[in-house]
A and B are shown apart, each in its own frame.
Chain A
Amino acid sequence: MKPSYQKAWFFVLPVLVLVAFNALIPMMTVVNYSVQETFGNNLFFWQGVDWFEKLLNSDRFHAALGRQFLFTGIILAIEIPLGVAIALAMPRKGVWVSVCLVLMALPMLIPWNVVGAMWNIFTLPDIGLLGYFLNHVLGVDYNMTQSPLAAWMTIVAMDVWHWTSLVVLLSYAGLVSIPDAYYQAAKIDGASNWAVFRYIQLPKMKRVLTIAILLRFMDSFNIYTEIFVLTGGGPGNSTTLLSIDLVKIALGQFDLGPAAAMSLIYFAITLLVSWLFYTLMMRNET
């Protein structure tokens, strides 16, 4: 049992100050704006929950929210199983392991705008590697700037390319922590490969998988830069996800009230779902 020591607050004080500075003050500002109206002349008028009402009834908001959930749903459905499968297929020991892991981690260290730019160049219809391949070798009509479907498939492919490795590395870490004796016992018990996965590997990976799902949910729900650089939210607003919409309103139109209200709702959704996962994860810990 950890001893009780109230002076420990001094240890966390620097952290508290720095994070609170960045979190609380902006938050207060946002809350402030969300309940007021300004006509751009620095005069503020109380609006109460007006903005929230308008927003929750707004088609534009619903559309962006829907697109966001669709996007997050798709990439979770692809990245989690794919990441686990790759981790399962990797050798558990050997010199190639660190080489593999380093190469796999590379996409995650590329600045997000470069990721977007990279995929932009990659998918240009006539001069990009993938674009050329699809249009001129396979004969498929592929143009991201014109077809919403093509745009969606591209942003999904980009995110899978970008982040599946996170799931791989987490799952792999979970897998290698399983002592050999379990596999040996399963061999002796005559267990099939499926049984080994279901009764040994999957249970032991539960904790890392929860972390993986939590992280991927949070980050994909908040995604901005890569998609903005790649598609700008288009064609039209077919790939305008929540963050992109928010920045458009806040920095583009300077509609402080609606932007602030949207920020709070957005934050609340992220927080709620993340809290659910977090509780699940902490429950497994005990």
Chain B
Amino acid sequence: MTAAGARLRVDMIACDGRGLCAEVLPELITLDDWGFPIIVDRDIPPGLMAGANEAIRLCPLLALQLDRAGANAAAQRTTSPGRAG
């Protein structure tokens, strides 16, 4: 499995803040003041790919995902906090 362009993404609706992911992969995942994961904003380096897969496997709520088009998706998100127009 190659890691080119892959990132971790949290489905924040599914996430319950158990925090296992941050324990397994502190290099890429920290927790906010309420225990919800903050993903480091960069592609997964090849050396951490195994750890990333382990974190995904361990999430009891299946809230952690591998996002192969992560960079693109982030760029396409609308930045304005407006309502649907």
Pairing of A with B: no
Interface of B toward A, CB cutoff 8 Å: none
Give chain A's interface residues, CB within 8 Å of chain B: none
